[in-house]
A and B are shown apart, each in its own frame.
Chain A
Amino acid sequence: MSTSTDNNASITQESGPSAAVQDIQKKIVVRTADGEVFNLKEEVAMEIDIIKTFFQEDSISYETVMPLPNVEGWEMVKVIEYCTKHVELKHKVDGYKERKAFQALFVQNLSTKSLLALTNTANYLEVKYLLDFLCQAVSEQIKNKDVDYVRELFGVENDFNDEEYEQVKAEAPWAHENLNNDLH
């Protein structure tokens, strides 16, 4: 019975009597860029708009494995984790604290670069509330960092010459003090 309440994505290896129990709830199968295959519960899959559109608009059978060439396996794991929690909390009346605790844990071991990759993915997959949350999480991580740090993080080239840069900086020197470049 534990497999039917398993919230983690897993590579399909169903066999035996428990598989029959699982099949009562429909599953949608996707394959990520690295070839990994994921079994999603229908209600979780429908949280992901790109998947929802794929299957519902064109009435494609759930037998089809949907390819997601722009998504890495680890990203899919995280997205499924978040959406599953979201679905779970939908039915709870007072889930605020739980949601906050979950969100803190969710980003805890993610580097800023991973967060950015995940933000991209959430945008691609069209999961609005996850995108909301991730934009907020990225902003938390860049908010007190200096210009060089953020530039390097986003891979943006400095196209100001020295004079131009000083000019822009001089418009608001108060914004450049009290910064903290510690990596989380």
Chain B
Amino acid sequence: MAGVAGGNDFQWCFSQVKGAIDEDVAEADIISTVEFNNSGEFLATGDKGGRVVIFQHEQECKNRPHLRGEYNVYSTFQSHEPEFDYLKSLEIEEKINKIRWLPQQNSAHFLLSTNDKTIKLWKISERDKRAEGYNLKDEDGRLRDPFRITSLRVPVLMPMDLMVEASPRRVFANAHTYHINSISVNSDHQTYLSADDLRINLWHLEITDRSFNIVDIKPANMEELTEVITAAECQPNQCNVFVYSSSKGTIRLCDMRAAALCDRHTKFFEEPEDPSSRSFFSEIISSISDVKFSHSGRYMMTRDYLSVKVWDLNMENRPVETYQVHEYLRSKLCSLYENDCIFDKFECCWNGSDSAIMTGSYNNFFRMFDRNTRKDITLEASRESSKPRGTLKPRKVSTGGKRKKDEISVDSLDFNKKILHTAWHPKENVIAVAATNNLYIFQDKIN
């Protein structure tokens, strides 16, 4: 795949936008997670109202071969409901924190969805035939009087309109005292891990009443708590390896073969702090909000407040690449602390070939970095800049001094419009960007 910016490289075009157009955004409609499945045929979103919407990639139209197909709604279901914890008198939000697809093994599709406390395994299956001609019941389901039946017939399968059913197959509950922030399916396709603020558990997909605790960083005295787990992921090739990131900007790699409880890490990744840029906000902005392995498994990427870093698993003392997402915010940290934006958790993602990475920012901007050419681009997900199949125009934030035409100044950025969740198709150059309650899908123009 070629790079992401300029020249005869990709040109990102608007493809679709899903969601309401009104200015008034219902809290429940805010998208909280976006995830392509392993083939890219399906795209799942979760929202604050506990719903999951799955889109399917339609086949290309024969009469418009220059366009890839569109994503249309395939299934919608209520995954989680709000609950009330009577012991603590606290509400448990139904917001979907993460969705992870399982590798496909038969005609049905499986995904894991989680809120703060409970993980559920959903089976999404299609039904396009139904049996007709039952003996004991009518077509509308009413039971027949057995004495009236004079002959027997064999029911036959007749085609019907496609119906997509989502059914919960497993519920993995009561294993997390704190809020779940990550789930990750293991490469063995049998187990997965779930991480909350202080603990990580390992589950078997078939077993719901037991899970193994593999990391526990809860101090004996909670007064001594200074660090929490922020994200965790299984290594894509080695089923015994996983990583977890912390609020202090560190990443620990653990090998489950070493011990049952992986409190002692195998590798410890931390970049030494630059003493010249130390401030009261240093720790907060170093807190890692997302960690993702590359598809190759050789690298991992971490997102902190102002930057994205790529780490080589073989080198612990510093990242191999650092990309500044919105360095112009460094002088605004006090205000961002005041309005809580400094605690926003941005995600990041790799493209299929690991040559490019993407992450979100404010004002509905999102950024892409080409690791080979070192070029970067800022694009915007908004209805105004989205004309059908129109190429997206690169955006620029002016960092002081004269503001050029088409540039936007830092003080004009809308901090309510944040792109926290993005996803990149595993095989093609199609990206999904969640902007509050709208889902934007962009594709590159096939030359």
> Do A and B make up one complex?
no
Q: Please report B residues at the A interface, Cβ cutoff 8 Å.
A: none
Q: Please report A residues at the B interface, Cβ cutoff 8 Å.
A: none
